[in-house]
A and B are shown apart, each in its own frame.
Chain A
């Protein structure tokens, strides 16, 4: 094996050879993420339950009781939780991926490894929380006497869409964050705006039909609709929205990989 080191040349696709055999390091980085988080917090893994659960209670009181928003025929808490499970995952994964390079700058300046593994590990580690929260969703369904439908078996597909929806902007933000530390402050704001653009508290049925394609440029709209489709017996499949979501994620992800590749040479210089 011969490694050649040369000055970087403009735009190039990611060198996939570097990622051969990197799955072990990825595994350790994910494990480290999880262990550190659970060791440093008092409640540990309980946060994965508390965050969506408390938000569900809050949303049910404000949007369900006070604002009396429609909930597609579901009990409002179920309606909200079905969306909050993927949304909480997405918001945390995006935030952590966006800060992953800067938070671990001591690794960037001391050792070489495929840099993309850091945002990737952040997004994957969150999937454990998503799984825990999904079990919570099943419990709440049982509590409301809703029979789980076989549609729930589609959860890996929607989880994957949620993960890539977080990864795509996550790698852009991670790379930009190294150069512009403003990004750290932009992320919470971005997540907040994104929440309003996603049918978490409200039903996507409220969006006028002619705006639907535009609305689905936000892939999380498709993910949330997918989760509701899995739990609501009579919800309609939103195939067209999903197609748009997949196309958008694929485009952003591909562009993001090029962007990341272009920026990664200078990470250790500027971080």
Chain B
């Protein structure tokens, strides 16, 4: 690459297991020493994990690159190494120019200090000079839109205001390389939009390089031309964002992965047990999300039923609960008016919800099998979790943050 500003070469970070559990006390250390006085304490051999291993890439000037991956994939570790917060165990990285990192909103904020004081404090900690903060102060305050509360202690701010002020400071950092982690997950929709716009500006007009980590696939797709997918500390894909995101959605399954049979024999259930749901799988026929359901898309469910005697199922239902336990969907064959006659043995039933009107999120699927005379054969409240994933919103709109559970088509007809 002609104009490389960030070069990462076989970077790796090893953690001792237990180090994750925080500091040790002197007593533990002394006990270890007494037990094995000649062994080097903290030897690298026992109980270590690689949070990141063998990661290499290069980023050119003005590029915006997304880092995606599930929990524990090593995204944060990578950003922390590049931000120089933690040291790598092996490999090296080279960065040209000033590095600014934004791993949380409000680094350096103190709730007792006023908005004005915090702007200076946070700006200085993030690497701005005092003269620079002076120069940008008005722009920061305008961006944050906190108006008359500038000289009020931040502890009296609403959480939205705190986040706005915090991000406003960060948005005015002018490093050559900006490292951003998940900060967009907070704040109201309007402000998020402003931040995304600001980040796009920063790279396009100012030629700054941005490394962006997010779980929000929509944001990653809008901002980043190129992305890197990490899985268990290693790079599994790198390239144009659309392909990498598709691979992420297809491979790094969320709560359960689409298409494969999920064993239900061990889940909690009630009922006579004459007929039991023993395994299930789900998928979407159209495959833009790697088989996982998406808002307003179809959902097909395959259900393996074990019958111990001949029986009739008058009501076969699929339920979806949210994680707070609100029942959102009860799709029941009783509404269709069909009954199933089952001989002893295993059967497979395929059901389909043509349009699943649920917003992105994690839901719990359960099953219900009942006979014609109110005999409940099987009732599984929590079968497994499934994730409804976000696809890019139509018309380049973006999903509101405080979205409800249920999707609803909306048309804008007139503007007077």
Binding site for B on A (CB under 8 A): 1-8, 21, 24-25, 27-29, 31-32, 35-36, 39-40, 106-113, 178-182, 265-266, 268-271
Choose one: A110, A112, A113, A180; the contact of B24 (CB below 8 Å): A180
B97 at interface, CB cutoff 8 A: yes
Contact at B85–A1, with CB atoms within 8 Å? Answer: no
In the assembled complex, the Cα of A109 lies from the Cα of B79 at a distance in Å of 11
Contact at A271–B90, with CB atoms within 8 Å? Answer: no
Contact at A112–B101, with CB atoms within 8 Å? Answer: yes
Binding site for A on B (CB under 8 A): 15, 19, 22-27, 29, 80-99, 101, 103-104, 107-108, 110, 112-113, 117, 120-121, 124-127, 129-130, 153
Which residues of B have CB within 8 Å of A28? 120-121, 124-125, 130
Contact at A182–B27, with CB atoms within 8 Å? Answer: yes
In the assembled complex, the Cα of A7 lies from the Cα of B89 at a distance in Å of 5
Which residues of B have CB within 8 Å of A109? 80, 85
Q: How far is the CB of A214 from chain B (nearest CB, A)?
A: 27
Q: How far is the CB of A132 from chain B (nearest CB, A)?
A: 21
The verdict on A2 contacting B94 (CB below 8 Å), with A107-B125, A108-B85, A113-B125 known, is yes
Q: How far is the CB of B114 from chain A (nearest CB, A)?
A: 9
Choose one: A2, A31, A108; the contact of B96 (CB below 8 Å): A2
Contact at A7–B121, with CB atoms within 8 Å? Answer: no
Which residues of A have CB within 8 Å of B15? 269
Which residues of B have CB within 8 Å of A7? 87-92
Which residues of A have CB within 8 Å of B22? 270-271
In the assembled complex, the Cα of A27 lies from the Cα of B15 at a distance in Å of 35
The residue in chain B whose Cβ has the minimal distance to the Cβ of A117 is B125
The residue in chain A whose Cβ has the minimal distance to the Cβ of B132 is A24
Q: How far is the CB of A111 from chain B (nearest CB, A)?
A: 5
Choose one: A8, A24, A266, A268; the contact of B129 (CB below 8 Å): A24
Which residues of B have CB within 8 Å of A270? 19, 22-23
The 5 closest A-B pairs by CB, nearest first: A265-B87, A112-B84, A28-B124, A5-B93, A180-B26
Contact at B112–A111, with CB atoms within 8 Å? Answer: no
Contact at A3–B99, with CB atoms within 8 Å? Answer: yes
The residue in chain B whose Cβ has the minimal distance to the Cβ of A5 is B93
